[in-house]
């Protein structure tokens, strides 16, 4: 892993709020003022290819990045725009929910849902 990739990865681990590449760029700049946006994109791409992070896409918005390695889906609160990691209920798997053909094996999961969360009382 290059120094830049390590810094980008540690920035992602620090604050797991599903930042965009631009968010990551601004945060990395505080530690590495000379880094370019293109380098940040390259680092994010490399980290994705190595399976350390996942890209999260909502419609036509810029991709966001997630470091949570556990199987989960993304829930976007339409009121605040905050993206939450939602785990499966105990003992439940994605294959329990889908009418997949016999023998099909899921190798990748990308599921995003949106809705309203109750406002904090
Ligand atoms: Zn996530």
SS3 56: strand
pLDDT tens, N- to C-terminus, the chain (121 residues): 799 999 999 999 999 999 999 999 999 999 999 999 999 999 999 999 999 999 999 888 899 999 999 889 999 999 999 999 999 999 988 888 899 999 998 888 888 999 998 876 6
CATH code for the domain in which residue 35 is found: 1.10.10.10
Q: How close is the Cα of 42 to the center of ligand 1, in Å? A: 20
Q: How close is the Cα of 11 to the center of ligand 1, in Å? A: 15
**Do 49 and 91 fall within a single domain?**
no
Kindly state whether residue 120 falls inside one of the protein's structural domains: no
**Do 91 and 106 fall within a single domain?**
yes
| Matching residue, tokens 């990748």 | 108
Q: How close is the Cα of 87 to the center of ligand 1, in Å? A: 9
| Matching residue, tokens 């990045």 | 65
Q: Which residues of 22-33 are buried (b: 16+ CB within 10 A; e: fewer)?
A: ebbbebbeeeee
Closest CA relative to residue 41, chosen from 30, 103, 53: 53
**Do 16 and 42 fall within a single domain?**
yes
Instruction: Count the neighbouring beta carbons within 10 Å of the beta carbon of residue 97.
Output: 10
**Do 93 and 55 fall within a single domain?**
no
């Amino acid at each position: 892993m290059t120094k830049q990739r390590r810094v980008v990865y540690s920035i992602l681990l620090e604050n797991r709020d599903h930042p965009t590449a631009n968010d990551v760029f601004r945060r990395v700049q505080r530690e590495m003022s000379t880094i370019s946006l293109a380098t940040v994109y390259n680092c994010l791409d490399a980290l994705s290819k190595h399976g350390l992070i996942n890209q999260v896409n909502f419609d036509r918005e810029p991709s966001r990045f997630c470091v949570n390695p556990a199987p989960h889906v993304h829930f976007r609160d339409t009121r605040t725009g905050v993206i939450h990691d939602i785990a499966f209920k105990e003992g439940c798997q994605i294959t329990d929910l889908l009418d997949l053909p016999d023998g099909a094996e899921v190798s990748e999961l990308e599921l995003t849902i949106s809705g309203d969360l109750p406002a904090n009382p």
